Structure 1
Amino acid sequence: MKQLLPILFIAITFAACRGSRSASYGDEKDLTTLISRLNKKGADDKIIADLQQVYNNAYTKSMQRLNNYQYDPAPEKWNKIIPELEGLHRMYETVSQSAYAVRLLKPANVYPQLISTKDSAAADYYQFAVEQLNLNTRENNKEAYYAFQRAQQYVPNYRDSRVKMKEAFDRSIVNVLINQIQYDQFGMGGNNWGWNQYANRDRQHQANIIRDLGGQSSTTNPARFFDEYQLRSMGAGPDLVVDLVWRNLRFDQPLDQSRTYNRSKQIETGKDTSGRPTYTTVTATVRVTRRVLNADADMNVIITDAATRNQVKWDQLPSEYRYTYEYAEYSGDKRALDNNDLALINRGSNQRLPTKEDAMAEMMQRIYSNLVNRIRSTVSW
């Protein structure tokens, strides 16, 4: 890149009188349109004037930005310089579609500088990554991983950056213990609500969470997820511990709410002496019972550093379950009822109500994705 700087300063001096419009996607699009028109119509004075203005203004602003970027800290400055050079190269390729435009504009070919700049960027990112890797903390290993990755993006297979990426990833792997779900209350509505009642169900939830986080073979995050038995069988200890605790459990007794309404309908009951139908009004009263059951709870997600005992995260995920069931009875003439009334009446009043276990399963389902994502985001980079 040391060879590029003098070229850039010379270009700035040369371009200083060329205008002030910034190079952008819009400029490139305008340039493409004008070159296409030039190829179709030939040396049209208006097209030529517009072409010179668009190219010169875009080129000037681009070179000014490149000059400013030289003073930004490395290696981040390459993330600005390289896209700018790529834009200039695209402009060169667009102009090169017309031999007349090439003679008229004499576009700058920055491709050699682009290649050498990418090599400089890869070298800087590689050196930065090595320095981070030598510090050997999880956060520094993360910085190293992405810096090696950036070096790879600028120059594919740059040195041993692919191997170093894996080293940075492997150094960052933490063992995460997902404990079995716990309950902080054991009395609700006079009935015992202990987690032992639902041990099989909660063990399944625990297994599902570990599986959906990637288990022991996660490739997207430098973390491995275990239950207590799995860690013990490996003779390993956790780096992070995840406790999942249901709190503020509430399971209301079913509440019946009633409403009453009347139906009336005219029905044909015969014909008069002239053969015309005669009607009679029939009525019925419908009494609807709406049975309501409410349940609420808060899932607490507590993530602790096993070595320091410091809490890394404590989130509370509220969940609720609402169950309603309606049935009806009537008095009067059944012929006054419509299909909706009959459907409610045919339901009956002995419908099985959800149990606490049903409610807990529904509440877990409502927060499950959020729960898994909270754990994943905490342990990920």
Structure 2
Amino acid sequence: MMHRVLHTIFLFALVAYYGCGISSAVKQNYTFEDRQVFDLVERLKKNPNDAAAQALLPDAYRAALQKRDSLTEAKYYNLGGGERHIALANEWLVMQQMYEAILSNPAAKIAMPNPWDPAFKIQQEYNLAADEFYRQGVGYLNYNTREGAQKAYDYLVKANKAVPGYKDVRELMSEALDRSYIKVVVSPVNYYNNAFSYWGFQNDWLQQQMVRDLNFRSYKNVKFFTDWDARSQNIRPDKIVELNYTRIYISQLFTQQYSINRKAEIKTGETKTIPPKPVYETVTATVYVTKRYMQSNATLQCRIYDAYSNRNSFYDNFSNNYNWNIETANYRGDSRALTAEDRRLVNNRFTNEPGRAEIADKLLRDSYNTLLSRINNRVSF
């Protein structure tokens, strides 16, 4: 009874971990002899009184087992390491399916009362596979290189898949994964030799934003950190990102005034002659325009370089401008002389110019978005 319980637990864990992938891999290994057994079991399922099927099943089962005994070693002789043991386990899983099919069919169980239970053999192959993968993973981890850590992680994942929680494989997987990452530190932003508060910002959002955006981009085997994160986690960076605003210029509010003379011929009536002729009146007006404007610009310089060799992997400047203006007007004279644009300016109302922080924020965001697009499209870490 205990054996049956353990056997059921083993099967449940196996199916839960590997899912439907096992079924397809196992079916690929069906031999002619295997299919004969499954066909006979199916016949007995449909007709438990099929005497011919009952008589043929024991010999068919023994033939399938002998066939598998002869082919397993020879078929995978040239396959090395843990992969060989995984392949062998898949072969014995055919016998596991056969075992389950017979036991679940009362008529087949009568014809073949003691089929061989391959559960121990399968688990043995998985244990051997896990050991092979584990040793290969540890070997690559001992190289103490990023490339070695990447290979180590792949092997350790296979070991953990073969036997979940094998030895200290999960701790080593975490270590290998950490060593396999290229660690990139984004330095604090230099805001044109001033603190970020000089421009009216409440916080230094750009550094944090870049770390979030680049991590969200999900570069393979790359992680991004702020300098504070790197220090607190004792991380030695492989690459460093420097952001430097070499120029931030926010101009004062300029005012320009000018006038435009308007003149128009307005029809005021018609003569009493036959035919009548139009009568025009000349009207004039002077439009006084006040233009208020600001011209601001910024240049963001980005350098990405290797922390050990100091060699640049990326270096570029990203400039942008922000021009703000508004025009208002009043006039003297006859309103009939005004154009549609004159009327728009007369009806326009002066609004307060944008604040220093608002302009600086727009300049920085625009240049940063251009930089981020360039990094996403062209930079390989």
Could you tell me the TM-score, scaled by structure 1's length?
Answer: 0.47
Please tell me whether Structure 1 or Structure 2 has the larger radius of gyration of its CA atoms: 2
Could you tell me the TM-score, scaled by structure 2's length?
Answer: 0.47
